Amino acid sequence: MGIDFNQLNGEQRKTLRQALMGAFGKSKELDRFLQDHDFEPLEYYSTAGNLTDLVFDLVEELSRTGQLGKLMAGVLDEREEYPALKDLESRLRAESTKTEESLLEGRVLQRQNPYSTAEEARSSVNVEIRGKLEGISLLEAGAEVTKALEGVSFKLTKLAFDSEGER
């Protein structure tokens, strides 16, 4: 099954733009291609002066209007010999897989350490302490506070360790 060029994520669009710039060395070539394939002239999509910005604007507009797939079908058909287009679909699939794995990894890390800052960890412990201190003696309260502080120390150590591992 082919790639839906209109549903690309950011990394995939970046890869696609680089491939288009490799296939069309000059804006005139790209403009000619667009007009030969019943698209509007390039100036309709962008007034930028350089190829990088022109291609960016073109990809964004054609993706927004659902026409990026039509453009890429023509480009891949007529310019398949260009090195920038070789294995484009497999590279885009790889980008998609990499992005999905990264998102999944982020969710797993979040579940392992629900506290993103030391302040969140302290706040969580404060709520725990307040709930446990109602209706108990001063001695029992002291013991609960000591246990809670040990918990804060553990949570802050874990937070520091987790943050260090992400670098």
- What mean pLDDT value characterizes the chain? 79
Residue ending a domain, among 107, 125, 151, is 107
Domain boundaries, position 46 = 5-107
Same domain as 96, residue 27: yes
DSSP letters for 14-49: HHHHHHHHHH-SSHHHHHHHHHHTTPPPHHHH---S
What's the total number of domains in the chain? 2
Same domain as 75, residue 19: yes
Q: Which tens digits make up the pLDDT trace of 131-141?
A: 555 666 767 76
Same domain as 67, residue 21: yes
Q: Which tens digits make up the pLDDT trace of 2-61?
A: 788 888 998 999 999 999 999 998 999 999 999 999 999 999 999 988 999 999 999 999
- State the sign of the Cα–Cα–Cα–Cα dihedral 60, 97, 4, 33: positive
